[in-house]
Amino acid sequence: MLQPINVGHKSLADYATLVGPTLMGELGALAEPLRGRRVLNLSATAFGGGVAEINYTLVPLMRDAGLDVEWRVIGGQDEFFEVTKAIHNALQGSPEGLTDAQAEIYRLYNRRNAAELEGEYDFVIVHDPQPAAVIEHARASGRHWIWRCHIDLSTPNPSAVDLLAPWWRAYDAAIFHRPEYVPATEGLPTSYIWPPAIDPLAPKNMALSPEDARYIIDQFGIDVDRPLLTQVSRFDPWKDPLGVIDAYRLVRDVYPGTQLALVGSMAHDDPEGWDFYNQTVAYADEDPDVFILSNLNNVGSVEVNAFQVVSAAVIQKSIREGFGLTVSEALWKARPVVGGRAGGILSQIRDGETGYLVDSARGCAEACLAVLADPDRARAMALAGKEDVRRRFLMPRLLRDWLVLFNRLDGNDVGAAELTTVEESR
């Protein structure tokens, strides 16, 4: 059931010119005591969503730093992923709780996956709620267990927290994007706060000329001579693609030639994805200037890059958002960004300085209209946002955080290297 994922090779030295000598030197010093340590990542899927994107870069960079790192994906039937999607929604505030039968399905598949875990590891990193209960049956397989939460737990359904809390308490550390996400539950392990990061050298974020980007998106029927608004995210009610369509319609009333692209990916651990995709298509009502695309339309990383590069504005109008790496991706390309005032988007956009934060479809439309009316100002804001991303949200900084935590758990002296705990952040 535990499928190994091949991530290829990456060299940390390739990032030196982007992050500078100070961080590179710190990475070398932090990695030295950890050489040969065995690390296992457990997640629910190898594609679709931020966890997979991060691991395709972070795992090979950890290896290049001298650690022995694996990434495995848990297995399960549709009934399991329907339950884990319900847990995900409940943790993000859905009022629907879980039935006893659903809780038992969750326990069953975690038990089965734990039975497939072989070998011994120094550090086991469990991503998100799907495999959180594996620890109950496989504790002896890892010296240190870390739960990494990638979702917004600021207003969780208490029933989901009650279900997962006994397993969370068994971990040696937990990591959240923001202090507001740490559940108010007794007995949690030391909880650290750090954001995720993007890979500036990955195909989705590498330098792409406007000419090449225009050529790529022209293949999807986009008129490259008219304004384009784009949202890149899963087809999920928390991402509010229907609200994005409402905003687009308001913008089109002022700029009739405006086009909209909703670009997503269909992941196997998201059984609701197809239902909401179909709702989104229906809501677009056959508008020829609304393009609803996914990996099943051959939209891969380079194509996403092209859509972001060509867009007049990149939107991430989330209602709930663990972090929303598409914001940093767009800012890294110096594109104007309009984000929902939610979750991790608040960590990436300084409203009115590096982008716009909005609370409604009308607010989203007004921000897009401001971008279209004054592209020079929007560009200046985006360039300021790119510098924020360079300092705070690139992959070597994320590697540094992990190395500091591994050293702490191992009892090694990390000198002046600091991590922020939830107590320190409040």
268 pLDDT more than 60: no
70 touches 37 (CB < 8 A) = no
Question: For the segment 145-174, what is each residue's pLDDT rounded down to a tens digit?
Answer: 999 999 999 999 999 999 999 999 999 999
Mention every residue, 6+ apart, whose C-beta is less than 8 A from residue 254.
369, 372
95 touches 40 (CB < 8 A) = no
pLDDT average, residue stretch 338-365: 97
Domain with residues 3-197+394-425, CATH architecture: 3-Layer(aba) Sandwich (3.40)
Bridge partners, 174 (sequence order): 147, 191
The whole-angstrom separation of Cα 302 and Cα 295 is: 11
Least confident segment among 60-69, 232-241, 263-272: 263-272
CB atoms within 10 A of CB 254: 12
Question: For the segment 210-227, what is each residue's pLDDT rounded down to a tens digit?
Answer: 999 999 999 999 999 999
pLDDT at 274: 81
pLDDT classification of 265: cutoffs 50, 70, 90: confident
354 pLDDT more than 70: yes
125 pLDDT more than 80: yes
User: What is the CATH class of 210-392?
Assistant: alpha beta
pLDDT at 31: 97
pLDDT average, residue stretch 4-17: 96
pLDDT at 47: 81
> Which token pair is 63?
């290896």
pLDDT at 329: 97
pLDDT at 267: 64
97 pLDDT more than 90: no
265 or 409: which carries more pLDDT confidence? 409
pLDDT at 271: 66
pTM for the full model? 0.91
Question: For the segment 179-206, what is each residue's pLDDT rounded down to a tens digit?
Answer: 999 998 999 999 999 999 999 999 999 9
The whole-angstrom separation of Cα 212 and Cα 231 is: 20
Mention every residue, 6+ apart, whose C-beta is less than 8 A from residue 178.
154, 193, 195, 343, 344, 346, 347
The whole-angstrom separation of Cα 350 and Cα 236 is: 25
99 pLDDT more than 80: yes
pLDDT classification of 422: cutoffs 50, 70, 90: confident
- How far are the Cα atoms of 14, 41, 43, 194, 235 from residue 271, in angstroms, in the given order? 38, 23, 16, 29, 11
pLDDT average, residue stretch 86-90: 93
pLDDT at 423: 76
pLDDT at 272: 74
Mean pLDDT across the chain:
94
Mention every residue, 6+ apart, whose C-beta is less than 8 A from residue 13.
none
Eight-class DSSP state of 393: S
Query: DSSP letters of 161-203?
Result: HHHHHHHHTTSSEEEESSGGGS---TTPPPEEE----B-TTST
71 pLDDT more than 90: yes
pLDDT at 220: 96
Query: How is the chain split into domains, by residue range?
Result: 3-197+394-425, 210-392
Q: What stretches of 66-165 adopt beta strand conformation (E)?
A: 68-73, 121-127, 142-148
pLDDT average, residue stretch 329-336: 97
373 touches 403 (CB < 8 A) = no
Question: Phi, psi at residue 357, to the nearest 5°?
Answer: -105, 135
pLDDT classification of 418: cutoffs 50, 70, 90: confident
pLDDT at 368: 98
pLDDT average, residue stretch 366-387: 97
Domains 3-197+394-425 and 210-392 share a fold: yes
